Amino acid sequence: MTRIGVLALQGAFIEHEQVLRGLEVEVCQVRLPHQLENLDGLIIPGGESTTIGKLAVGYGLIEPIRELARCGVPVWGTCAGMIILAREVAGYEQPLVGLMDIVVRRNAFGGQVDSFVEDLQVPAFGQDARPFPGVFIRAPLIESVGPGVEILVRLPEGGIVAVRQGNLLATAFHPELTGDSRFHRYFLAMTGGWAESGLTAAGSGER
């Protein structure tokens, strides 16, 4: 059975767990470095990115997560998790894993009261062309991407909100807060261990 870790320091980790368990995936809460062992994938959830980063430093998780990703294990960051994966946060200093060649801007759409849901087109889902409900809560925005980064999703006005770089996936929105499991199935397909996903996780975005 595919075994996915969810970084459980702060934020929406329970919601990711619930989606994964509904897909009959084994889930492991990760709070300490040894809990990263024998994982097929890792999710860094949404929440407060500064808090998650500081706690990750305090528990000695930053370098082990980097090493996990460098070994080819898929890692997915959602909202705050996307910030943690980025190499740079525009105008802000905070602890980062820093492996994705992207620059992000925190709280790009405003505060909590400015949260919104946007129907998103996701070509990477292949023949399943239904719009995906993107839930944006104090969400970041990707300001720029490096040459090895594939753009998976743009907002209608052009803003970049989902990218992939090899075994790394990042979304500015919260797929775990919807009733739609396609992004989780896409990530599981990236692990190569869940053939029933119906999604190939083959690249089909912009470069």
Instruction: Point out the residues that are catalytic.
Output: 79, 174, 176
User: What distance in Å separates the CA atoms of residue 148 and residue 44, rounded to the nearest whole number?
Assistant: 21
* Greatest CA separation for the chain: 44
State the first-to-last Cα distance of the chain, in angstroms, to the nearest integer.
33
Distance CA 6, CA 13 (A): 6
**C-alpha–C-alpha distance, residues 138 and 115, integer Å:** 6
With CA atoms as reference, report the closest residue to 90 among 99, 78, 101, 103.
103
Any residues with CB less than 8 A from the CB of 148 and at least 6 apart, and which? 101, 165, 166
Residues paired with 161 in a beta bridge: none
Structure-token pair, residue 134: 């993107």
